[in-house]
Amino acid sequence: MYKPALIAGITLAGLAVVLGAFAAHGLTKVLTPEKIDVFQKGVTYQFYHSFALVLVGIVYASFPNKQLETAVPLFIGGIICFSGSLYLYPLLEAKNISIPTIARLITPVGGLLFITGWVSFLLGVIKNN
């Protein structure tokens, strides 16, 4: 098993539970339903990729290689950029803080990190004979 992936995945999944509960119970008076949906989309993608991290950690036991190790920071970076931006934007907008257009590029960067993480994961499984 690849312990860094397991620790990151479990920690980030637990954090996703906290953030989801915060959105459902703490933000309903502060954000519009549309903004809560954006926030929840961040939670959803954080969950998917937290589970991907755990899966990488488990698969590594059978297929230990650099590509699987590389998938870990890509998934973590994707969570930070993609999900993190989907948490931050609605909160800033609720406070009437304008978000520069250039700052909105962080979300697609996070998406690219997710995609690259999945490609690295696939290559890591394929590479092993």
The 8-class DSSP code of residue 29 comes to: T
- pLDDT score of 83 more than 80: yes
10 Å CB burial of residue 18 (0-12, 13-18, 19+) is: exposed
CA-based radius of gyration for the chain = 16
66 — pLDDT class (breaks 50, 70, 90): very high
Residues 2-8, mean pLDDT to the nearest whole number = 97
* pLDDT tens string 86-123: 999 999 988 889 888 888 899 999 999 999 999 999 99
**In sequence order, which residues have a C-beta less than 8 Å from that of residue 58 and are 6 or more positions away?**
1, 6
**How does pLDDT run across 39-51, given as a tens digit for each residue?**
999 999 999 999 9
Percent of the chain with pLDDT over 70: 99
Residue 60 contacts residue 29 (beta carbons within 8 Å): no
Indicate the pLDDT class of residue 80, thresholds 50, 70 and 90. Answer: very high
Residues 5, 53 contacting (CB under 8 angstroms): yes
